[in-house]
Amino acid sequence: MRSGLWHFDPQTGARERVAEPPYDPAEQRFNDGKADPQGRFWVATLDDRRRPQAALYRWADGELMRMAEGATVGNGLAWSADGRTQYWADTTAHVVRAYDVDEGGALSRARVFARFEPRGPGSLARWLHTAVLNKIRNKADWYGTQKRAADVPLTDTLGGRLAARSDAAPAYIEAERWQPLENALAELPPDMREAVVLRTVEGLSNADAASAMGKSSEATSKLYNRAIARLGTRLAGGTGP
């Protein structure tokens, strides 16, 4: 929080500030925090403008102490199994630092443990885009194959048969196959598209998807089955129902 370090009681909802912010709240805030093997609480800050002015603090015995500095977005605290090495990630700088830590919690011998190359703008969005399309395409491809091999009836149990497949891991597709799937998805009515995403991508049961959509289980099942059938037919080169 920007306003400092707080103690929160989840049972009563009571909260108490235990430390004032050691930074300018207009420019920084606390970010990631974690307790070490000795029970001391460590918390890092982030700088809103991503300047290397964020720091790492330790809260113990009622005192907040500045232990390390020079980060942009302090994140990812961890300790080695023997408790002698502490790791601290700086997200924007794409680096994980390591420190020797003694029994009293003092840090020394700062060094770079790992460094990662920036993936460029939009990389996370592209990864999510690929994952979503792969999962949907995998199920649609399966249906298209089954339909070509035999007359697969469109019934209310089709969704269950798809979900029960043992080889449900996505078969990753190349970039040039994204567009046909996107086109096929775009042709679906909004409620069918929503049913596919909730069931196939989010992994919801039919009952949970129905609740999220505000529809009956029977109606949601039919929407999902028809959507998968249409996708499979379109991707197989047909016109579909």
> Which three-class secondary structure string do you get for the chain?
CCCCEEEECCCCCCEEEEECCCCCCCCEEEEEEEECCCCCEEEEEEECCCCCCEEEEEEECCEEEEEEEEECEEEEEEECCCCCEEEEEECCCCEEEEEEECCCCCEEEEEEEEECCCCCCCHHHHHHHHHHHHHHHHHHHHHHHHHHHCCCCCCCCHHHHHHCCCCCCCCCCCHHHHHHHHHHHHHCCHHHHHHHHHHHHCCCCHHHHHHHHCCCHHHHHHHHHHHHHHHHHHHCCCCCC
Residue 22 phi/psi, 5-degree rounding, is -85, 25
User: Is 34's pLDDT higher than 70?
Assistant: yes
- The per-residue pLDDT for 66 is 94
- The per-residue pLDDT for 96 is 92
CA distance 179 to 164: 27
User: Is 233's pLDDT higher than 80?
Assistant: no
Percentage with pLDDT > 90 across the chain? 29
Residue 195 phi/psi, 5-degree rounding, is -60, -40
Token pair of 87 as six digits: 């790791």
- The per-residue pLDDT for 201 is 66
Query: 30 pLDDT band (50/70/90 cuts)?
Result: very high
In the numeric block, the tokens 């929503």 are attached to: 194
pTM of the model: 0.51
User: Is 190's pLDDT higher than 90?
Assistant: no
- The per-residue pLDDT for 183 is 73
- The per-residue pLDDT for 163 is 41
Domains of the chain: 5-115 (2.120.10.30), 123-235 (1.10.10.10)
- The per-residue pLDDT for 100 is 94
- The per-residue pLDDT for 65 is 93
User: Is 226's pLDDT higher than 50?
Assistant: yes
**Residues 88, 79: contact at Cβ < 8 Å?**
no
In the numeric block, the tokens 């370090």 are attached to: 5
- Between the alpha carbon of residue 119 and those of residues 56, 72, 116, the distances in Å are 26, 17, 9
53 or 157: whose pLDDT is higher? 53
- The per-residue pLDDT for 167 is 42
Mean pLDDT over the full length of the chain? 77
- Which tens digits make up the pLDDT trace of 96-132? 999 999 989 999 999 999 887 766 555 555 555 555 6
Residue type for 111, please? R
49 or 172: whose pLDDT is higher? 49
Mean pLDDT, rounded, for 203-231: 85
- The per-residue pLDDT for 55 is 94
- The per-residue pLDDT for 132 is 60
Mean pLDDT, rounded, for 11-37: 91
CA distance 178 to 185: 11
User: Is 176's pLDDT higher than 70?
Assistant: no
**Residues 239, 204: contact at Cβ < 8 Å?**
no
CA distance 212 to 194: 10
User: Is 140's pLDDT higher than 80?
Assistant: no
Residue type for 20, please? E
